[in-house]
Amino acid sequence: MGIKSSAEITRILKEKWDKSKEKEEWRVLTGRNPKGRHDMFISSPERIWQLKMEQTGSNEAIGFGLEVGKMDDEIKKLLRTGAPVPFGLISPQKKPDLAIIMAGIQQYSSDSTYTLCKEYISEKQAKLDDKLDMEIERMSSDPISRRRYKEQKERESKSYL
């Protein structure tokens, strides 16, 4: 399975979740990488998927993902590290007025996601980053999208205090 849009990956995940008999064994780990992008890993008892996303507006993001591979004990251990925090993801689908909503408690650790990216799936990481870079470049040719993206980056650079 190659790189797919985040909407396609969430649809696949929903289908797998609906069929799963071990829902309590599913895990989500999220963190930010050095480029400020969100790396989200979602695992079932057997497989692991990754979504790589970047905020492009106050309520907008673009993202791509792929099935990373099989679970093993080392990856399971990494998925359980970090701070437990709520998460939510709304993924609009191709059909109008249809979205998949994912919500629950995730582990948040930029260190753990970075370790997964660099030590376990580095080749696939480069392809995901390249795909996201190309999409952001394409988006920047549209003046409205470029303005929203620039405003979002300015909001992210301001401290909360």
Note the pTM of the prediction, 2 decimals.
Answer: 0.81
Mean of pLDDT values over 34-58: 85
Q: What is the pLDDT of residues 48-57, one digit of tens each?
A: 998 888 777 7
- Long-range CB pairs of 121-130 (<8 Å, 24+ gap) are 121/50, 121/68, 121/69, 124/50, 124/66, 124/68, 125/52, 127/3, 127/66, 128/3, 128/50, 128/52, 128/64, 128/65, 128/66, 129/35, 129/37, 129/52
Where residue 109 falls among pLDDT bands split at 50, 70, 90? very high
C-alpha distances (whole Å) from 83 to each of 28, 78, 91, 106 are 11, 12, 24, 8
Q: Taking the CA atoms of the chain, what radius of gyration do you get in angstroms?
A: 16
